[in-house]
Amino acid sequence: MNIGEKIKRIRQHRRMTQKELGELVDLSANRIAQYEMGYRVPKKPLLNQIAEALRVSPLALPDGGNGPANDILEQLFWLDEEQPGVIKLVPTERGTARYNANPDLALHYDDNDSWPPRSPVAMWFDDTILDDFLKDWAAVQKKLYAGEITQAEYFEWKVMWPDCDNLHI
């Protein structure tokens, strides 16, 4: 998803018109439309103003360059928006066997109806920021699937990350 598509998606989530967003950043509705359609790309200072006007983290809009961990997380967020449900997060529990002692070097899971018919591949990061974040995301995603939060609240959490501590989710 490019910058313009992100601006449009968040603006619509905020129930703002292009004119309203333009007024907050001293631009015309036509200029906002040009950004949303990808005809123009706002420079970083303006992009930060747009993020502030949309009340989202400045990390939610750029096409990368926020740092390796942040870039990965933002890409995963927008993939989850473009293909809802494609990312399944499941917290793990430590077993009694050591991974390297396991002869087939595989993780084992308890099957249920929400697992795909084939065995999924697990991935983890040896990075505290990514690992802690994915645990937090798994907890928020679990609330969505349990009906404890709405799709809009889930989206709000993602566009506010990492500044989502004030959200009551």
pLDDT digits (tens, 9 = 90+) for 134-161: 888 888 999 998 999 999 999 999 888 8
pLDDT tens, residue by residue, 44-85: 999 999 999 999 988 888 876 656 677 788 888 888 888 888
**Which domain does 50 fall in, by range?**
3-56
Query: Left (φ > 0), alpha (ψ -120 to 50) or beta: where does 26 sit?
Result: left
The b/e string for 158-168 (b: 16+ C-beta within 10 A; e otherwise) is bbbbeeeeeee
Do residues 39 and 118 share a domain?
no
pLDDT in tens, 80-102: 888 888 888 877 666 666 655 65
Predicted structure pTM score: 0.69
Same domain? 22 vs 79: no
Q: Do 96 and 156 sit in the same domain of this protein?
A: yes
| Same domain? 72 vs 52 | no
> Is residue 19 domain-shared with residue 101, that is, in the same domain?
no
User: Would residue 82 count as lying in a domain?
Assistant: yes
Q: What is the pLDDT of residue 16?
A: 97
- Within this chain, do residues 24 and 76 fall inside the same structural domain, yes or no? no
Question: 146 and 80 in one domain?
Answer: yes
Number of domains in the chain: 2
How far is CA 145 from its chain centroid? Answer: 16
